[in-house]
A and B are shown apart, each in its own frame.
Chain A
Amino acid sequence: MDPEEDWLVESLRLYEDFYAFDLSGATRVLEWIDDKGVFVAGYESLKKNEILHLKLPLRLSVKENKGLFPERDFKVRHGGFSDRSIFDLKHVPHTRLLVTSGLPGCYLQVWQVAEDSDVIKAVSTIGVHEKEESLWPRVAVFTSMAPRVLHGARLRSLQVVDLESRKTTYTSDVSDSEELSSLQVLDADTFAFCCASGQLGLVDTRQKWAPLENRSPGPGSGGERWCAEVGSRGQGPGPSIASLGSDGRLCLLDPRDLCHPVSSVQCPVSIPSPDPELLRVTWAPSLKNCLAISGFDGTVQVYDATSWNGTQSQVEPLFTHRGHVFLDGNGMDPAPLVTTHTWHPCRPRTLLSATNDASLHVWDWVDLCAPC
């Protein structure tokens, strides 16, 4: 019996739709541009990496008469080359610009996606004050009439820079050397940060640096690494911040009280995570209280946090995507590791996931627990 065949047969029941692609290079980036395209970028060192703008297969984008569209392939709409590894990529909404961050060299690269050809060209750089060999600044973009780029590798080097004038419009102005693991823009004036130690904060840029944060050393006192994501306002009542640790702990917090998590669960994952920098937790844009986590192995797990309360020892995922293990890994050594995942902005149960062996899956899972 072929485990790959077995899994494919199982998958008939588990997924509405399932697509598997082989990129020419592994990506750690999956950034949406409208709801029809994504950007991916390579992160290998000592090699020319590609940044690609991929248009989703027609079968995934059309709303009606899906059956009449046989196209199941990604179309490379634009491409560009980067000499550096790219660890983060953000699209500047309403423009044709991209901002990337990577190594070596501590600076941000700004790219332009051409209109009349398929080229993504490097156009300028944004300097960064912290010059550290191994740390790369996290990036987020404020959308407005004049887009601003939020970046920083450590708390003390957090800055907001106006993209056009390159003037610094905001700085953290602290001496805290805490390493940042994620930055997220929430609206025109506020952003959230998460430090590798687990320290979380919400910042209003209209005021001098005075974040709402959990000052305590945080749950990460055992040397774990943390990341976090804030859900959108349309989440409904309940906690909207999720924080994931490399020891498999997932905490849900309410922005009004960052010091006391609403719930804290232990996810059934293989620990320690082989590369805690790859940890990722995301909120589903269209499903209430649903989260996805990845970065521990070759799987992506989806959880329903509706009934979570207080501290729970064990929870079970609503769904686990094992495609990367069976289709690409297939018993080969070393097993693949998911580098990133993202939810489709409109289709409720569709996700994209990528691994370190250059595979990219698009999957639409079936909610087996839902009433028929």
Chain B
Amino acid sequence: MPEIRVTPLGAGQDVGRSCILVSIAGKNVMLDCGMHMGFNDDRRFPDFSYITQNGRLTDFLDCVIISHFHLDHCGALPYFSEMVGYDGPIYMTHPTQAICPILLEDYRKIAVDKKGEANFFTSQMIKDCMKKVVAVHLHQTVQVDDELEIKAYYAGHVLGAAMFQIKVGSESVVYTGDYNMTPDRHLGAAWIDKCRPNLLITESTYATTIRDSKRCRERDFLKKVHETVERGGKVLIPVFALGRAQELCILLETFWERMNLKVPIYFSTGLTEKANHYYKLFIPWTNQKIRKTFVQRNMFEFKHIKAFDRAFADNPGPMVVFATPGMLHAGQSLQIFRKWAGNEKNMVIMPGYCVQGTVGHKILSGQRKLEMEGRQVLEVKMQVEYMSFSAHADAKGIMQLVGQAEPESVLLVHGEAKKMEFLKQKIEQELRRQPGGRRGAHLGSMEATWAEAFSSWGPGVSCYMPANGETVTLPTSPSIPVGISLGLLKREMAQGLLPEAKKPRLLHGTLIMKDSNFRLVSSEQALKELGLAEHQLRFTCRVHLHDTRKEQEMALRVYSHLKSVLKDHCVQHLPDGSVTVESILIQAAAPSEDPGTKVLLVSWTYQDEELGSFLTSLLKKGLPQAPS
């Protein structure tokens, strides 16, 4: 049976380091190539030795697909392509292609410059890696080769995030990457059509959560900012150039406007232009509301948010500042942090994960005394708030996606199977609720029969939860549509037996495979179409009998014998002395050596094999004694 094999790579069950290997109909695809942010050594990379022990990765893998720009999905890409070695195509969406290298470079700087790591990829490697990228549009079918095609679907979550369908013939797999089923201020909800893949691969991390609404998270953010500025404090929000920053700015701007607040809000220099540029390029990726706003005005020209100047950090009184970089590891945000950290009226809001080794990571771990350059100790008295705005689908969201795509099976990565029995049951219930998929080969009226036959073989499990490094093998039943010629069907019907939906029926014919077309026709028609002559096969057997009479008399006696025995068949005595039974010919001959022995030559065609064999055995038993 053809099968689909899936192996999540790497060790450990934590989130991070998404990297999944899929084998489908002989094609090998790698889905994402993430870095595990919690480790400093080789454990942060996926274990690529699983892919192939010997042989080049380029030869083994048909392509690599990256779902979005978060480092736990693309962080190991330059290492994989330039240090381990892969020269094949890397597919991703346009925004991902534009943003990935920026984040990779940022990360590289932290690892090498800040932490002094040695065996890390270089800036040149990032550039070389990106040269192998082939960017795709949403809903565009991309032919990787003759047989393998991929298609990207909108995933929400972050700008440019996509879910991918990987298809070979009639077998397909959909990989969701990270996605979100509820629209927010700047991104829409994930959407996929009823593509009915054999397998849907998704994260299990959030499958067991029920997410707090986006509104409440935003409310929490506004409340913290408002309370701080109300008491005269300053709020520092370290951000990356793209993504969260714009969203939070829109939020604050709206709030400031409504509340008629006068406290200044600043945005790091350079951020505005970059963000503007990227968002303009990727308008189709944002949601309806943003698109409308863009038409009305430039969304990054805020009334209440102004460009920041270094000197402002020393101004007295409350203010809010968005500054880069996002993990407080260098640059402007770190500078401002150092100035404001000593005052408990102030607050720093970290909107995302911080890599180990950064100041951001230290303060989020609860450290209140930091060692800075020159052995200076910085005492952190300001309030530290860790907020999570990332949009992930939760248990409800996963069910919604399963309902949209209607997969045959679901595979969850990054979960502990033993602990997720309830979730598995829930998903399997949802899968069963869906109308029966395309199981078995379609053969006209026999479809129902085949479907039943296949489902009784089918796997009992429809929801898989492999551990990292474990391979799941999914048997598939590819459907091969075969057209039957009308003539053949008519002939079968003429046999008199009516087709029964529950009983399989054997049909003989010739299968003609032309281009990607399969047809079942009668042998005669096949021969005709192919311009071939039909070969006739004739068998001849000699039956020796002890008989002293003459041949003609023998032939007559054979005729009467067979006539009396074979009452259902047409037995004839021809003028030339031979006897026929249907198409079988029996002739009596006398070999010259022995007048007491006669030979019966029995000959029949391949079609009358059964009758021919029967006659031969019958005649071998001898002829009955003639009445006198």
Chain A residues within 8 Å of B, Cβ to Cβ: 4-5, 8-9, 11-12, 17-24, 48, 50, 54, 57, 65, 67-81, 114, 116-120, 327, 360
Give 1 or 0 for each of B22-55: 1 = CB within 8 Å of chain A CB.
0000000000000000000000000000000000
- Bound-state Cα–Cα, A65 to B395, Å: 28
Minimum CB–CB distance for A224 against chain B, Å? 36
CB-defined contacts of A70 to chain B, threshold 8 Å = 386-388
Is B421 in contact with A119, judged by CB distance below 8 angstroms? yes
Which residue from A48, A54, A69 sits with its C-beta under 8 Å from B429? Answer: A48
**Size category, B interface:** 35 or more
B310 within 8 A of partner (CB):
no
Grouping DSSP codes into helix (H, G, I), strand (E, B) and loop, the B interface class, with mixed when no group exceeds half, is: helix
- Bound-state Cα–Cα, A81 to B427, Å: 13
CB-defined contacts of B222 to chain A, threshold 8 Å = 12
B394 within 8 A of partner (CB):
yes
Which residue from B212, B419, B421 sits with its C-beta under 8 Å from A19? Answer: B212
Which residue from A54, A69, A73, A116 sits with its C-beta under 8 Å from B418? Answer: A116
Is B386 in contact with A23, judged by CB distance below 8 angstroms? no
Is A119 in contact with B215, judged by CB distance below 8 angstroms? no
Is A20 in contact with B212, judged by CB distance below 8 angstroms? yes
B434 within 8 A of partner (CB):
no
| CB interface residues, B 417-457, toward A, < 8 Å | 418-423, 425-426, 429
Minimum CB–CB distance for B208 against chain A, Å? 5
B98 within 8 A of partner (CB):
no
- Bound-state Cα–Cα, A9 to B215, Å: 11
12 new A-B contacts at CB < 8 Å, known A9-B259, A19-B212: A5-B254, A20-B212, A21-B212, A71-B388, A72-B217, A72-B388, A74-B212, A76-B208, A76-B210, A76-B395, A117-B418, A118-B423
CB-defined contacts of A360 to chain B, threshold 8 Å = 210
- Bound-state Cα–Cα, A76 to B259, Å: 38
Q: List 10 A-B contacts (CB under 8 A).
A: A12-B222, A48-B429, A69-B386, A70-B387, A72-B217, A75-B208, A79-B423, A79-B426, A81-B429, A116-B418
Which residue from A9, A23, A48, A118 sits with its C-beta under 8 Å from B419? Answer: A118
Is A118 in contact with B386, judged by CB distance below 8 angstroms? no
- Bound-state Cα–Cα, A76 to B423, Å: 9
Closest 5 CB pairs of A and B: A79-B422, A70-B388, A72-B212, A74-B210, A20-B213
- Bound-state Cα–Cα, A77 to B395, Å: 12
Is A119 in contact with B422, judged by CB distance below 8 angstroms? yes
Nearest residue, chain B, Cβ from A77 = B208
- Bound-state Cα–Cα, A75 to B259, Å: 35
Interface centre among A48, A65, A70, A75 (most CB of B within 10 A): A70
Give 1 or 0 for each of B398-426: 1 = CB within 8 Å of chain A CB.
01000000000000000000111111011
CB-defined contacts of A21 to chain B, threshold 8 Å = 210-213
Give 1 or 0 for each of B367-400: 1 = CB within 8 Å of chain A CB.
0000000000000000111111000001110010
B532 within 8 A of partner (CB):
no
B626 within 8 A of partner (CB):
no
Is B210 in contact with A23, judged by CB distance below 8 angstroms? yes
- Bound-state Cα–Cα, A8 to B396, Å: 24
Is B210 in contact with A118, judged by CB distance below 8 angstroms? no
B302 within 8 A of partner (CB):
no
CB-defined contacts of B419 to chain A, threshold 8 Å = 116-118
Minimum CB–CB distance for B607 against chain A, Å? 59
Minimum CB–CB distance for B520 against chain A, Å? 44
- Bound-state Cα–Cα, A57 to B217, Å: 13
Is B212 in contact with A73, judged by CB distance below 8 angstroms? yes
Is B211 in contact with A73, judged by CB distance below 8 angstroms? yes
Minimum CB–CB distance for A59 against chain B, Å? 9
- Bound-state Cα–Cα, A9 to B259, Å: 9
Which residue from B223, B386, B418, B429 sits with its C-beta under 8 Å from A67? Answer: B386
B219 within 8 A of partner (CB):
yes
Which residue from A19, A117, A118, A327 sits with its C-beta under 8 Å from B208? Answer: A118
Nearest residue, chain A, Cβ from B418 = A117
CB-defined contacts of A17 to chain B, threshold 8 Å = 220
Nearest residue, chain B, Cβ from A72 = B212
B118 within 8 A of partner (CB):
no
Minimum CB–CB distance for A370 against chain B, Å? 17
- Bound-state Cα–Cα, A114 to B422, Å: 11
CB-defined contacts of A9 to chain B, threshold 8 Å = 255, 258-259
- Bound-state Cα–Cα, A30 to B255, Å: 34
Which residue from A4, A18, A74, A327 sits with its C-beta under 8 Å from B209? Answer: A74
CB-defined contacts of A18 to chain B, threshold 8 Å = 216, 219
Nearest residue, chain A, Cβ from B207 = A76
- Bound-state Cα–Cα, A50 to B430, Å: 13
B364 within 8 A of partner (CB):
yes
B366 within 8 A of partner (CB):
yes
Nearest residue, chain B, Cβ from A57 = B212
Is A72 in contact with B216, judged by CB distance below 8 angstroms? yes
Which residue from B215, B385, B387, B421 sits with its C-beta under 8 Å from A20? Answer: B215
CB-defined contacts of A19 to chain B, threshold 8 Å = 212-213, 216
B167 within 8 A of partner (CB):
no
Nearest residue, chain B, Cβ from A20 = B213
- Bound-state Cα–Cα, A5 to B250, Å: 14
Minimum CB–CB distance for A183 against chain B, Å? 30
B196 within 8 A of partner (CB):
no
Give 1 or 0 for each of B596-613: 1 = CB within 8 Å of chain A CB.
000000000000000000
- Bound-state Cα–Cα, A360 to B216, Å: 13
- Bound-state Cα–Cα, A133 to B388, Å: 49
Minimum CB–CB distance for B9 against chain A, Å? 26
B108 within 8 A of partner (CB):
no
CB-defined contacts of B259 to chain A, threshold 8 Å = 9
Is B213 in contact with A73, judged by CB distance below 8 angstroms? no
CB-defined contacts of A67 to chain B, threshold 8 Å = 383-386
Minimum CB–CB distance for A74 against chain B, Å? 4
- Bound-state Cα–Cα, A8 to B220, Å: 10
CB-defined contacts of B384 to chain A, threshold 8 Å = 67-68
Nearest residue, chain B, Cβ from A48 = B429
- Bound-state Cα–Cα, A52 to B426, Å: 12
- Bound-state Cα–Cα, A12 to B259, Å: 12
Nearest residue, chain A, Cβ from B259 = A9
Give 1 or 0 for each of B215-236: 1 = CB within 8 Å of chain A CB.
1111110110010000000000
Nearest residue, chain A, Cβ from B396 = A24
- Bound-state Cα–Cα, A54 to B423, Å: 14
Nearest residue, chain A, Cβ from B425 = A81
Is A68 in contact with B366, judged by CB distance below 8 angstroms? yes
- Bound-state Cα–Cα, A81 to B426, Å: 9
CB-defined contacts of A79 to chain B, threshold 8 Å = 422-423, 426
Which residue from B254, B385, B396, B421 sits with its C-beta under 8 Å from A117? Answer: B421
Nearest residue, chain B, Cβ from A21 = B210
Is B215 in contact with A8, judged by CB distance below 8 angstroms? yes
Is A12 in contact with B223, judged by CB distance below 8 angstroms? yes
Once A19-B212, A23-B210, A67-B385 are accepted as A-B contacts, the answer to whether A11 and B395 lie under 8 Å apart by CB is: no
Minimum CB–CB distance for A324 against chain B, Å? 12
Nearest residue, chain B, Cβ from A1 = B258
- Bound-state Cα–Cα, A119 to B385, Å: 35
- Bound-state Cα–Cα, A23 to B212, Å: 11
Is B386 in contact with A68, judged by CB distance below 8 angstroms? yes
CB-defined contacts of A72 to chain B, threshold 8 Å = 212, 216-217, 220, 388
Give 1 or 0 for each of B230-269: 1 = CB within 8 Å of chain A CB.
0000000000000000000000001100110000000000
Nearest residue, chain A, Cβ from B206 = A73
Nearest residue, chain A, Cβ from B433 = A48
Minimum CB–CB distance for B210 against chain A, Å? 4
CB-defined contacts of A76 to chain B, threshold 8 Å = 208-210, 395, 422-423
- Bound-state Cα–Cα, A328 to B353, Å: 31
- Bound-state Cα–Cα, A116 to B254, Å: 48
CB-defined contacts of A20 to chain B, threshold 8 Å = 212-213, 215-216
Interface centre among A23, A48, A74 (most CB of B within 10 A): A74
CB-defined contacts of A11 to chain B, threshold 8 Å = 219
Nearest residue, chain B, Cβ from A67 = B385
- Bound-state Cα–Cα, A121 to B413, Å: 25
CB-defined contacts of B399 to chain A, threshold 8 Å = 24
Minimum CB–CB distance for A326 against chain B, Å? 10
CB-defined contacts of B209 to chain A, threshold 8 Å = 73-76
